[in-house]
Structure 1
Amino acid sequence: MAISKIGTLTIGQAPRSDITPILDAVLPAHVECLHAGVLDGLDDEAIAQRFAVQPGDAVLTSRLLDGRAVVMGKPAVGVAVQEKILWLERQGCEIIVLLCTGEFHGLYSNNAWLIEPDQILPPTLNALVGSRRAGILVPLASQIASELEKWKGAAVTPVFAVASPYTATDDEVAAAARALAEQGADLILTDCMGYTARHRDICARHVAQPVILSNQLLADLLRNLL
């Protein structure tokens, strides 16, 4: 199966200057990549109207083209993600890669190979960690409750710390890494596509635990498909 065109889908605005270099590094020269975002072409008012967090909503955060972070209600994002998947498929994308680690239920494509990080990362990390304890770095404190459900398959319940990849200072990222280490984490996973090598390097300077970037892990797996 020779793949000639893939699509990536961020829940923010594309292209993601923080993520696309990681993906570009694994793409063969013959593979075209189309980047799309749920918030493409939308201004602040349109984003607020369509994706405002409603009472009881789980929340997601992503990045705009100007580097600002935006927080959105997950149900509205899920609807828009599905619309964009079908749009990418109509553009001829044979593989569609979702650039978000959040859980979305019921996503589908008609023919394209849909790759969802939330289907890949938990079982992969659980198999890697085994009976050790994982430390999960998340962007928002309000996400921890849903994260506990996401990682319920772990042999040992993970521990969590918060530092947004979009707004946290270096000191805040370092403090979050130390908090995970102090809670007994044997390994740290950055559970958001927005964390980059900069965040990994900050953690590495302050703790001994290995740090796994979710976007790099996804790119490494994608490399094998292509």
Structure 2
Amino acid sequence: MSKQSTLAIVTIGQAPRLDLHADLAVLLGSNVKVLEFGALDGFTLEQINTQYPTATKRDILVSRMQDGRQVQISEQDLEPLLEQAVHKAEAAKPDAILVLCTGDLPEFNDVQVPVLSPKKIVEHFFAGISNAVTLIVMSPDAAQMENTHQRWLGNGFDVQCLSGSPYLNDGGREHAAQQAKELQGNLIYLDCMGYQLAQRDDIAHIAGKSVITPREIIFNTVRLLLK
């Protein structure tokens, strides 16, 4: 029997990420032990909204509280909290650490365990297929769309942007999928680690287009690395 590897997952929200577990079983398999840590562990949603308001901030990130509610925080406010969570994960001595976010992250150069950056992995993936796709990108919140467009433009993709949260059942994803149906792009990328495979399938059914999540790209890469 091969040795079981250990992956520490650090969410920018709160652990455990129950919305992730079913997809992990499919994408990682049984040979990787998962430990979970959260940058916002120990906070209430009300404390976060009071201490880290986002109304005047740019670079907003969206994640999930332990009870399933959506939470928002700016990259600037998140960074010191995320660093603490990564160092806590490092102390557990995993084989690798994955930060559960596709946004811009610190380098974590002082961490003695490999820290995997979803953003970099995703960018390399799309660079390899850039000649074959015209991208439509869905973000959790409309406030992220301008930054999303600029970020992808910097990577050589003039993407069309939509919004629909993976954490809310407000019809936003379905509305965005209907919008995507009328656009010219041939691939929808769901630009948040919160999007589930079941949500991917629903969006693909409505839009009539191929849809891919960062979970697929990231966890397939992790599975290969931790073989």
Same structural fold, with TM-score higher than 0.5 when normalized by the shorter chain: yes
Determine the structure 1 residue equivalent to 2:202.
202
**3-state SS of 2:212 partner:** strand
Determine the structure 2 residue equivalent to 1:69.
70
Give deviations 1:5-43, integer Å, cap 9, x for gaps: 220011111111111332244446554321011111212
**3-state SS of 1:152 partner:** helix
Relative distance call for 1:28 and 1:180 in structure 2 (3 A) is closer
Tell whether the 8 Å contact from 1:190 to 1:213 is kept in structure 2 after alignment.
yes
CA distance in 2, matches of 1:41, 1:217: 30
Tell whether the 8 Å contact from 1:11 to 1:99 is kept in structure 2 after alignment.
yes
CA distance in 1, matches of 2:71, 2:57: 18
- Structure 2 unaligned runs (5+)? none
Q: CA deviation at 1:142?
A: 1.1
Q: CA deviation at 1:216?
A: 2.0
Determine the structure 2 residue equivalent to 1:141.
142
CA distance in 1, matches of 2:109, 2:38: 17
Relative distance call for 1:204 and 1:29 in structure 2 (3 A) is closer
CA distance in 1, matches of 2:5, 2:172: 41
**3-state SS of 1:151 partner:** helix
- Structure 1 unaligned runs (5+)? none
**3-state SS of 2:111 partner:** coil
Q: 1:115 is matched by which residue type in structure 2?
A: L
Q: Following superposition of structure 1 onto structure 2, how do residues 1-226 of structure 1 map, counting pairs within 5 Å? A: 4-27=5-28, 29=30, 31-53=32-54, 55-130=56-131, 132-169=133-170, 171-226=171-226
Q: 1:214 is matched by which residue type in structure 2?
A: P
Give deviations 1:127-165, integer Å, cap 9, x for gaps: 224253101010111111221232124444011111011
Tell whether the 8 Å contact from 2:96 to 2:115 is kept in structure 1 after alignment.
yes
Give the TM-score normalised by the residue count of structure 2: 0.88
Q: Which moved more, 1:188-197 or 1:28-37?
A: 28-37
Tell me the percent identity: 27
Tell whether the 8 Å contact from 2:5 to 2:32 is kept in structure 1 after alignment.
yes
CA distance in 2, matches of 1:156, 1:110: 32
Relative distance call for 1:28 and 1:58 in structure 2 (3 A) is closer
Tell whether the 8 Å contact from 1:86 to 1:109 is kept in structure 2 after alignment.
no
**3-state SS of 1:19 partner:** helix
Q: 1:172 is matched by which residue type in structure 2?
A: G
Relative distance call for 1:150 and 1:20 in structure 2 (3 A) is farther
Tell whether the 8 Å contact from 1:160 to 1:180 is kept in structure 2 after alignment.
no
